[in-house]
Amino acid sequence: MTGDVFILALAGFALISLVHIGAHSMLLKASVGNAWTIGPRDDPVSPGPLAARAGRALRNFLETAPAFLALMLAVHASGGSGLATAGIVVYLGARVAYLPAYLSALPWARTTCWLIAGIGLGLMLIGVLLP
């Protein structure tokens, strides 16, 4: 894997992270109001359905982030294989689709994106272990 592809993949990952955070923040503010979001947040609120979905999507994204980042380091250190590079593309592509799929509440859309992202992580792992 070339350094340019590695940097581009990490930048894409960072962008997906920022989109998740921004979507959750904006939907939460729209759902519960500005007074709560700028205050100390001492009293719990019930976010609307979209804000709640965005929060769950963000948490799910953050659950797979350490695995992706660790595998990215392993791929880079090992020189990367075609299989590992394909896994990176699969993971990032599925994660781009995950947030809109989750927000849409279409049956199976979120789960399918999650499964495909998991396959991407698996391809990365195999590409590192079996170059």
In this predicted structure, the answer to whether residue 87 has a pLDDT above a threshold of 90 is: yes
In this predicted structure, the answer to whether residue 116 has a pLDDT above a threshold of 80 is: yes
Q: What is the mean pLDDT of the segment spanning 11-28?
A: 97
Domain count, the chain: 1
Q: What is the CATH number of the domain that holds 76?
A: 1.20.120.550
Position 63 scores a pLDDT of: 97
108: DSSP letter: T
In this predicted structure, the answer to whether residue 81 has a pLDDT above a threshold of 90 is: no
Q: What is the mean pLDDT of the segment spanning 49-68?
A: 97
- What average pLDDT does the chain have? 94
Query: What are the distances in angstroms from CA 63 to CA 17, 29, 60, 103, 109?
Result: 12, 24, 5, 18, 19
Specify the pTM. 0.93
Domain that holds residue 64: 3-129
